[in-house]
Amino acid sequence: GAGFHCAARQTAFSRFCVLQSMYGGDEVGALVIDVGTTYTKAGYAGEDLPKVVIPTAVGVIRDMKNGSASGDKKPEDKTGNAMDVESEKPGKSEVKVGGRAGEEKKSDSSKYFIGCQALNYRRDHMEVIRPLQNGIVKDWDTVEKIWDYCFSKHLRVDLKEFPVLVAEPTFNPPENRKKLMELLFEKYDSPATFLVKDAVLASFAVGKHVALVVDVGGGVTSTVPVHDGYVLNKGVRKTRMAGEMVDTALDQLVFQKKDKPRELTPPYLLKKRFDKGQLRTSRLQFPNTTASYHRCMYMDIVRDIKESICRVADSKFNPKDFENIPRMPYELPDGKLLEVGSERYEASEVLFNPGDFTISQDIGNYTFKGIPNMVIESINTCEPDIRRDLYSSIVLTGGTSLLPGLNERLNRDLEQSIPAAFKVKTVPTSTKGEKSYGVWIGGSILASLGTFHQMWLSKAEYQEHGMNILRRKCP
């Protein structure tokens, strides 16, 4: 709401004023983009929150025939009665702007659907593609389509007129950096760019030049030591034990129990009607729905349950301690009430004690033993004289860090595991937005500093010096 927006503005803006007084200068018009595993965030430098937040996913129907989506057929419920879908049918025009707040466009023989509403609308044979794997872009064609949608359809800007600051993963491989340069300078013809490590931006967002950034995202959790605006690479730790693993754990604990499985039906499979004041639902049949679309819609509900009722236990989860806790209600899409007890604590425990939820093939064969252990490992690789500062400046960022109790549990577990000489302190963020979009906010502040124009890497410089200048200007 408006209150949340204003709170974010005050805090981000007050830090911006401090930074302006430190570095001087005037604002520069620039764009900032941060592509995460779950969401892509884009907007204008100097603003407190991103203008665009959309799923980092694209719906695609391959082998289009005659320019109309095969998903236009009317769905049927189990009684065989046709159900009217929205009168505004997809596929009436080849390229669609606005309308469904999504974007559908023909390219060769495929059609693409981008944005929340476009993805939520079920279509026959529509696959859902997610271009990031382990936090790294693996499918650039899909990322390009997401960028096109953000800049052309949502922000309605021409990148020829704007420098672009890109938040990149701390562990971004050189070939991905090269691809980013090609995209920005060759496809979009942007005048200048700057790539900054996401952890550096997260620390910048809270005004810290020395910090241990704990980024608990959807697909990856990382712990990254930052010192004077640089990542200390040997201290970087990363794991797939992140938000999506909490979702999987919750699904297994609540819906996939062998002795007592429960049904979870995504909204696209439900027909709702009122009968004598009572809401009645019947199940629809869609034989041509892809497994990837069903999975996407199913896990969307699981994620919402997590965000609504899950929390992190104060100390190590013990089932006996939670036998008598009140059960929390959650209304499922079919109107039934789900009541969740200890599972709402047990699911998020995987971030601290993975137990049976170990990852068979984690990133770089990392052995995950809980986020507190990652923090200690990261800090122990750093020079002894900065360890105290790192422990007292832990920056929590990423959507999954919003789990209630996570901050307190991390502090408590660390205090019990490290020498008494060190004091653990997590840097407070005053709003949800500052945690969810910390990386983007850091980019927004940095790119709007007047002196930052000296930092931009221009297209001319890149054409003359290639990747060498990128390595020098954006280490």
Of residues 150 and 277, the one with the higher pLDDT is: 150
Q: What average pLDDT does range 289-311 have in this prediction?
A: 98
Which of 85-89, 187-191, 321-325, 459-463 bottoms out in mean pLDDT, i.e. has the lowest?
A: 85-89
Q: Is residue 394 part of a domain?
A: no
157 with 248, same domain: the answer is no
* Overall domain count for the chain: 3
Are 122 and 89 in the same domain? yes
CA distance 246 to 243: 5
**CA distance linking residue 468 with residue 463, whole number of Å:** 11
Q: Is 16 left (phi over 0), alpha (psi -120 to 50) or beta?
A: alpha
CA 159 to chain centre: 24
Residue 19 has pLDDT above 70, yes or no: no
* Residues in CB range of 378: below 8 A, 6 or more apart: 212, 223, 224, 225, 235, 236, 237, 390
CB 146 within 8 A of CB 112: no
In 3-state terms the chain splits into helix, strand, coil percentages (rounded to 5) of 40, 20, 40
Instruction: Assess if residue 366 is contained within a domain.
Output: no
Sole residue written with tokens 């971004």: 172
pLDDT tens readout for residues 180-202: 999 999 999 999 999 999 999 99
User: Do 48 and 147 belong together in one domain?
Assistant: yes
Same domain, 274 and 346: yes
48 with 62, same domain: the answer is: no
Count how many Cα atoms sit within 13 Å of the Cα of residue 133 in the half-sphere of its side chain. 11
Name the band, by pLDDT with cuts 50, 70 and 90, for residue 84. very low
The pTM of this model reads 0.85
Give the model confidence (pLDDT) of 217-256 as tens digits.
Answer: 999 999 999 999 999 999 999 999 999 999 999 999 999 9
Q: Residue 111 forms beta bridges with which residues?
A: 61, 106
In a domain, 192, yes or no: yes
Q: Are residues 153 and 35 in the same domain?
A: yes
CATH number at residue 331: 3.90.640.10
Backbone angles phi, psi at 37, to 5 degrees: -60, -40
Domain boundary (129, 149, 184) is at 129
Residues 436 and 399: their CA atoms lie apart, in Å, by 5
Residues 169 and 266 in one domain: no
Domain around 84: 58-129
CA proximity to 438, closest of 395, 389, 378, 390: 395
Q: How confident is the model at residue 406 (pLDDT cuts 50, 70, 90)?
A: very high
Band of pLDDT at residue 81, cut at 50, 70 and 90? very low
pLDDT of residue 387: 97
If you ran DSSP here, which 8-state letter would residue 346 be given? H
E strand residue ranges, 248-327: 270-275, 278-285
Q: How far apart are CA 257 and CA 47, in angstroms?
A: 46
Residue 230: inside a domain: no
What six digits make up the tokens of 39?
């969401």
* 394, 409 Cβ separation under 8 angstroms: no
Task: Name the strand (E) or helix (H) holding 52.
Answer: strand 52-55
User: 3-class SS at 318?
Assistant: coil
Same domain for 175 and 110?
no
pLDDT of residue 262: 92
DSSP readout, 196-234? Answer: EEHHHHHHHHTT-SEEEEEEE-SS-EEEEEEETTEE-GG
